[in-house]
Amino acid sequence: MAVTKGRVLNQIRQLRIQAGLTQQELANLVGATRQTILAIEAEKYAPSLELAFRMARALSVPFETLFQFEEEEPGPRD
């Protein structure tokens, strides 16, 4: 069975705001820059697995709550 392509979605912004954290505060907690947090929230950059787990832990949510994988529909050539 072939694995379909997709993209990683996240709930970081919503959960960060619920936790009362700024982008800079979350960045400080997880050892990243504010710019990295901004890019991840905008889904322009996928974090390393290690950073993703640190973010989930910092926001006190399961990994699957913070990140989701959306499969793309197969195209005519797939």
Per the domain annotation, does 37 fall within a domain? yes
In whole angstroms, give the CA distance from residue 33 to residue 77. Answer: 40
CATH code at 20?
1.10.260.40
CA 7 to chain centre: 11
- pLDDT at residue 2, as a whole number: 75
The token pair at 4 is 């379909």
* Kind and range of the H or E run holding 70: strand 67-71
In whole angstroms, give the CA distance from residue 72 to residue 57. Answer: 28
Each residue's pLDDT tens digit, 47-68? 999 999 999 999 999 999 999 9
Per the domain annotation, does 72 fall within a domain? no
In whole angstroms, give the CA distance from residue 77 to residue 51. Answer: 35
Each residue's pLDDT tens digit, 2-40? 777 888 899 999 999 999 999 999 999 999 999 999 999
Residue 74 has pLDDT above 70, yes or no: no
Q: Which domain holds residue 44?
A: 6-62
Per the domain annotation, does 68 fall within a domain? no
Domain count, the chain: 1
